[in-house]
Structure 1
Amino acid sequence: MSSTIEPFEIPSIPAERLALLKQKLQNAEYPNELEKDVGWEYGAPRWAVEPLVKAWLNDYDWEKARAEMNSWHHYHATIQGLHVHFIHEPSTVPNAIPLLLMNGWPSTFYEYHKIIESLRNGANGGQAFHVVIPSLPGYGFSEAPKVPGYGVAKNGEMMDELMATLGYTQYMLAGSDWGSNIGNWMARNCSDRCKGFHSVMPLCLPPSPTNTLSLLWTHPLHVIKFYASIILGIEAVYGNGFEAEELAFANVQSDPESGYRAIHGTRPYSLAYGLADSPVGLLAWMLEKFHNWTDHGGIHDTESLPDTISVDEFLTMVTIYWLTNSMSSSIRIYYEAFHEDETMSTCTGRVNIPTAIIQFPAELAKFPRDWVETSVNLQQYNEPDVGGHFPALETDQLLLDDLQRFGKLLRTEKWIN
């Protein structure tokens, strides 16, 4: 390893800071609500937030979570002047593949805690990996950027440099949320090292010749279907689960779920005061997403978290953001990406390296396979019946199997050596 890399240990919560947290949780002031129960229509309701606040105050044990996290090897690397935190778990299995796993917002590296060892050890006789899980700049234990410009492209450059610093000349990339956004950019711009791209949230443009003229002769049927969908409707042509408004970044009139993106992408500073000062506000802001973007198996409106994500798992995520005061810096990536030059867009250009896509039913944005096929070099595709935006937590075995199958394919076809 380079001399710029130093070991790191997940810290305990300092006594004074822990006392302050408990004081704020104990004396939480809750907002007034309508007398009528409106479920989650207005956001996270008190009946869902308050029990989790009490669990954080009375039951949650950071030291237990810390012991689990410190069972993995953590490091800080100086990448383009910033200290970047990452987990690095090299495999002892022959022919293991370097794997860069990237999460997004409002998640952390801990999203992958259920599959780290299985990926490293090649569980069930599957493909083994040298596992690298970074915290993006401004997330968790990574240093926050001090200047503007840390959008998709900048983050992509830094993650590719991290893999190079670790000595990996070739690697497979997998991502969710911003990890998929950044991964899409890396798959197109770092293909000298990035040799395979696995995504749970593909980002693509419709198969229209106004986007790529060559589609007229490379995928003429896809083009015809797309224009038919304009006349007949997307669901009539492509089936249920695909909606045009999913393309909206911050248009709340066409997509109510994009409200948080509109705030993050335009005025992140103002929101950050409440999220930094109030642990209850931080928890509620995160809970809405862990509720809305997950698969609840038909009981969506009456529970806060799906039964696939435990209270302790969720509170570990929240505590990482609170302990590091990184919520304010993590949401700035929305502003940076929203104002990024169009030439740096994650949807600009085709991904030519081998790509695997797995689309879960409760994912925030899903696209028809036709659209995906015209945007990436699709070598593996899967649509499970269960799961959502955090598959490493919700459906860890499904995700593990999909990653291992794609890794084995990369080896078998010698796309990665």
Structure 2
Amino acid sequence: MPACHARQITVSAADRHRLETLARSHAAGYQQVIRARIVRDAARGHSNAAIARRHQVTVDTVRRWRGRYADEGMAGLTDRPRSGRPPRLTPVQIAEVKALACQLPAETGTPLSKWNCPDLAREVAARGIAETISPATIRRILAADTIKPWRHQSWIFIRDPDFATRATRVLNLYQRVFDGRPLGDDEYVISADEKTSIQARCRCHPTLPPGTGRAMRVNHEYDRGGALAYLAAYDVHRAHVIGLCHDTTGITPFTDLVDEVMTREPYASARRVFWIVDNGSSHRGQTAIDRLRRRYPNAVMIHTPVHASWLNQIEIYFSIVQRKVVTPNDFTSLDQVQYRLAAFEQRYNATARPFRWKFTPTDLTDLLARIERHERKDPHPEQHADCQHQPAAHAQAA
């Protein structure tokens, strides 16, 4: 009988790179790694027997995967489709599990705030939907439709009757437009607010820096060193921050911030400076608008809608401060807090670029249209009748 010859393997450059990557992988499945190594060695001219000894497999295994690659390429290294074990749950049972996961536990009489997989598994068995079912099976069923009942998002009712008008005005300013006209080069947009109650927590033991296999360690116990308020004004289009610290918030601290900005150039000689603020007590209503105009005739105060501070870009800067400066809170005194905040301002202003604000007036129109459609479909509007404020619409403040 003629001797059997090993199949000749020709590997393209792209396949060679994929095989090398897979052969060295520590994350891929063991079987996939072995198959890639077999084909790689075969392409280098090694015999089936030598490859089998090297990887401690049988010659038949080497011959199989060598032949599969020769016939089908990289696709041949995957497993063939198998029938597998017959499903234990019917499509109706699977649909009932998903429907249960999409119900609030309180609606089913279960004393839980939200579902997780073990709780759902117990509830499925208790209701007789399935005799037994594991939490892992529940997770696989829900993953098919990306249902995650253990997660939640917050949203808030729109209370401001002029929400659309006010929000559009703010969004237009971000695009350098006011009352339908583009802003000039001598007009600026300032986003301002206060970050309250920044504490000085002096840890009872020194913070340990990170090391090999160890994260930074911050002692849980601390002595309180007081708290302060950080007021900041952010030039939306120049990406420049001006801030100061006060013992508390109020009209006087906010006026100090305005003075700090408006006495500097280019704002002192600007034609108009728009101040975007929320509805906090230190700058609320027409009184605050008139107070600012009397003090600085070229300043125009623009309020965001009620409960819409997410439209104020200074909140993005405050989130950066929270992550990079305040957390973890380990300060020996309030003087150290003030120094750190001032030093960070200089560092930020040296390299900052304007935020890539993507929420436009068109997006706002689409959002309000979706809210209106949702409310028309709400089958139980009376559920919200006991709320203190009965709104006309609601939105997710993401």
**Which range, TM-score by smaller chain?**
under 0.3
**Greater relative CO, 1 or 2 (CA 8 Å, sep 6+):** 1
Q: TM-score, normalised by structure 2?
A: 0.20
Q: TM-score, normalised by structure 1?
A: 0.19
